[in-house]
Amino acid sequence: MKKFVFGAILIFIGTASYSQYDPKALEILEAMSKKYKVITSFEATLTSSLTNESEGVKEEFKGKIVVKGEKFRLSLDDQEIINNGTTVWTYLPSAKEVNIDNFDPSSDDINPIKIFDIYKKGFKYLYLADKTEAGVVLEEVDLVPEKKDAQYFKIKMMIVKKDKSIQSWTMFDKTGNRYKYTITKFTPNVKVDDALFTFDPKKFPGVEIIDLR
């Protein structure tokens, strides 16, 4: 259940307030997207959680992500997701297996390389309020998919008002699951070799390869 597709999301809110393209929300989102578009690569540590109040589920885990252009490597407690722009490997250490699949950039799945401009296609957006957490002023923006059959019915983004960086995002799905990702450290423009974004089975003796392509 711990996944970004991330990567990256109670009850359905169908009020008229969500059925709009709020200009203030768009201004915030455009400034945020512009900030990240000039970054060629980055490394971030994050905490993530899965909660489902009706099921009594509450799980927390930590992770690290490295992104370079259309490539990313996400390392969580119990899995790694590696994407080189054409192929996706999902490695499960406890099962000693790796699943290989093609990467479809046109997919509606949410992943770390989409989160910065996801609002540009298929979403309505609404600015809710400024909130202060741990002394940091955040702008709260909700994204609501235009498609009624979308995987997530809402994505809540918390954006630092001062520099338009993303502090967290929460994805709400229709089964009551809530996936929250909070960035705890962010390092832009890191030097990273492309080899990082490929799974090398030679480094994992005994791993079972499941090719789904």
Q: How confident is the model at residue 110 (pLDDT cuts 50, 70, 90)?
A: low
Q: Which domains are assigned to the chain?
A: 16-191 (2.50.20.10)
On average, the pLDDT of the chain sits at 87
> To 10 degrees, the CA torsion angle through 34, 26, 136, 155?
-100
Q: How confident is the model at residue 76 (pLDDT cuts 50, 70, 90)?
A: confident
Q: How confident is the model at residue 5 (pLDDT cuts 50, 70, 90)?
A: very low
Contact 154, 129 (CB under 8 A): no
Contact 29, 36 (CB under 8 A): no
Position 12 pLDDT exceeds 70: no
122-138 pLDDT, tens per residue?
Answer: 899 999 999 999 999 99
The dihedral sign for the CA sequence 60, 63, 68, 72: negative
Question: Can you tell me whether residue 186 is helix, strand or coil?
Answer: strand
19-74 pLDDT, tens per residue?
Answer: 478 999 999 999 999 999 899 999 999 998 999 988 899 999 899 999 998 899 99
Mean pLDDT for 142-159 is 91
Contact 140, 156 (CB under 8 A): yes
Question: Can you tell me whether residue 27 is helix, strand or coil?
Answer: helix
